[in-house]
Structure 1
């Protein structure tokens, strides 16, 4: 009986391999909407973003080998799709001023609270884990951009009234 169950599970896993999610790595060159085209991103911050954020928050996802194994690939692609929907650094320049401001606030807050990058990501991608210095740099950079936006635009256009 156990052999039949294991054989059935093996057959199901093999059949699952035939149904793969569509990978969403769409950019081979820099996009016009990339955050670097809208804001000053120092080289050290840009490198941190590329190492720790871009796999889920840009159009330049580097898929690991296990993305080809189902059902892990489905879970991973859903996670990437959600990340890009929430924040996409390759489309940041196309966001409204209010959304850009909100996303910059969230970047600082989530890095400060250790919510990003996700621990489930840094387990396998240990180089994506932010050092205290990198956290401080990213938070300082986002705060600087927020202040620049406040100085340049009317606050009402940036902050939604409650």
Structure 2
């Protein structure tokens, strides 16, 4: 039993050195969705509720650097960036932008975003009914 516990501890220590979080990359202002020409309330909502999983400028909390959580969090962020990336917005073709807006509105309306497990640890990301309405109204107007 001692050997098994020792082996598990050794594995946990070793995996701490395996990088698991996606790299943040510099964001050229020209490609961002969160820009000065977007209403401040919409910018604020996107920053607090969407930015960490759907942009190239995630702010990693301390626990995101602890394996095995780092693998799980890194995977979620990579998947989030693949679906919708605020940092790549202006690089999307018009047809893709329209589709992403439809998806965003649907996910916000159905309260599928932000993810409940994210909000559990990041209460500032929880959207009120008014914030949901603000996002939906803004994106439907585009």
Q: Deviations over 1:53-101 (max 9, x none)?
A: 0001111100011111111111111111111111111111110111000
Q: Given the superposition, is the C-alpha separation of residues 124 and 36 from structure 1 closer, same or farther in structure 2, using an over 3 Å criterion?
A: closer
TM-score, length of structure 1 as denominator length: 0.82
The answer on whether the counterparts of 1:56 and 1:84 sit within 8 Å (CA) in structure 2 is yes
State the partner residue of 1:10.
Answer: 9
- Superposition misfits of 4+ residues, deviation over 6 angstroms: none
Structure 1 residue 40: deviation in Å? 4.4
State the partner residue of 1:155.
Answer: none
State the partner residue of 2:135.
Answer: 138
The answer on whether the counterparts of 1:26 and 1:59 sit within 8 Å (CA) in structure 2 is yes
Structure 1 residue 23: deviation in Å? 3.4
Superposition CA RMSD, Å: 1.6
Q: Equivalent of 2:82, from 82, 85, 89? A: 85
Q: Deviations over 1:13-42 (max 9, x none)?
A: 011112122532112x553111246x9421
Between Structure 1 and Structure 2, whose CA radius of gyration is higher?
1
Q: Given the superposition, is the C-alpha separation of residues 139 and 72 from structure 1 closer, same or farther in structure 2, using an over 3 Å criterion?
A: same
Task: Give the number of aligned pairs.
Answer: 142
The answer on whether the counterparts of 2:49 and 2:114 sit within 8 Å (CA) in structure 1 is yes
Structure 1 residue 4: deviation in Å? 2.9
The answer on whether the counterparts of 2:31 and 2:91 sit within 8 Å (CA) in structure 1 is yes
The CA distance in 2 between the partners of 1:62 and 1:5, in whole Å, is 36
State the partner residue of 2:126.
Answer: 129
Is 1:110 aligned with 2:121? no
Q: Equivalent of 2:45, from 44, 48, 58? A: 48
Structure 1 alignment gaps of length 5 or more: 146-162
